[in-house]
Chains A and B, each alone.
Chain A
């Protein structure tokens, strides 16, 4: 194996809400091309860490450094689905295209290149036939793949996935993992929070266990 480039450097990182630290004194490097699974029990700080990486939460101490020229807007994020989204009247195309809002700040319409990119991402997640469908009428697995397509549109190099298969049936779960694996092979760096230890050990090339970390932190 040749020497890998570091993509994200966490140093002495502390994250939390209010006065409570959930992640503390974390030193961790993520390399270009990693498929990293984050496991750990509920409340151990997995999602908090992911939100920190996504820039939704600023570090209370320490730092998260983006290396190798990685930009904030090259990171795609797949958050857990909210109640609001499950019943949202929007077409799949509208949702996937909304990924570009962070990039062209004041343009009131989408460009052709963006529409083409959106179709590509939908093809990669096998949702292109759903482009005109209504999001709230899709199955759980289809919804999750649409949100993955949206994350892909925003992502050039790094995908952050927060429990992407929670609540899906075995078949949809299989498809989802297969798509993620394909993306990884194409060179995407992947960081995934999951409760599914078997997949973590099978597919991922690195596993980060938050049960250990929080014990160490105390």
Chain B
């Protein structure tokens, strides 16, 4: 054990490890907060769809050789999120079908573009990195870290300020609208925030595993806790704890960061599920 701690504190002296931990904590905090709303609104799969869109946008950005690919990825993902979440009931193509379509479409086009216009010798390695985020969290630049901190703060602040509004809209959009809450604006706001989080989370766990960050902490918390407030707080704590544990294990054991974090999330979900089973038996 002391060797492990020594090894860990040795690693902590590297700035890239500190960056990874800062970004990991912030991203998992933000994604779990919004995750509760998305799961309850039956939009769990939106994270997955949007991350594929972000992957497609990333492919386009690398084909265009943009120096700062965020400039393209963020607007594209936000636009698609708004389209998917806000057209809602009036759309010709219904919610889940639209998400499925956009999701695989973006994935296919992204991979195609990367193959045709590739500049790198190791395409499958590049694609694998983007999809599973195997190393991207450990290669963050200072600029990206600051951007991540700034965006996370905006997301957190918005969530805290509009917490009760978000609850009202999640629980009953019709009622909220009837009592004078401007649901269109808040749905738009939620869509934008979700897109920002997805793009940030792609660095952490990669495009394919983003939904795990959104869905697992929320589902774990909902198994055990009974009020919206406690579910939100618990989801946030679970998510941050799992990310920290995941990053530490990944660094010490040399496993891929993204999948280690998700594995930790799955383990906690299992624990919460068992807890609720035992409690139901007793009650």
Indicate if the CB atoms of A108 and B178 lie closer than 8 Å.
no
Which of A75, A79, A133 is within 8 Å of B172, CB to CB? Answer: A79
Query: Which B residues, 185 to 211, have Cβ-Cβ distances below 8 Å to chain A?
Result: none
- B226 within 8 A of partner (CB): yes
Binds B, one of A20-28, A82-90, A173-181, A203-211: A82-90
Residues of B within 8 A of A90 (CB): 167, 171, 227-228
Q: Closest residue of chain A to B161, judged by CB?
A: A108
Cβ distance B169 to chain A, nearest Cβ, rounded Å: 8
B180 at the interface (CB under 8 A from A): yes
Contacts of B94 in A (CB 8 A): none
Residues of A within 8 A of B42 (CB): 84
Chain B interface category by residue count = 20 to 34
With an 8 A cutoff between CB atoms, is A32 at the interface? no
- Bin the interface of chain A by size: 20 to 34
Query: Residue A134 at the B interface, CB < 8 A?
Result: yes
Can you list 15 residue pairs at the A/B interface with Cβ under 8 Å? A55-B177, A77-B179, A79-B174, A84-B171, A85-B172, A89-B222, A89-B226, A89-B227, A90-B227, A91-B226, A101-B164, A103-B179, A108-B160, A137-B226, A154-B178
Nearest 6 pairs between A and B by C-beta? A102-B179, A102-B180, A134-B226, A91-B227, A98-B168, A90-B228
Interface residues of A (CB under 8 A from B): 51, 54-56, 72-73, 75, 77, 79, 82, 84-85, 88-91, 94-95, 97-99, 101-103, 106, 108-110, 133-134, 137, 150-151, 154
- 7 additional A-B residue pairs with CB within 8 Å, beyond A79-B175, A89-B226, A101-B179: A72-B180, A75-B178, A89-B231, A91-B227, A95-B171, A102-B180, A151-B175
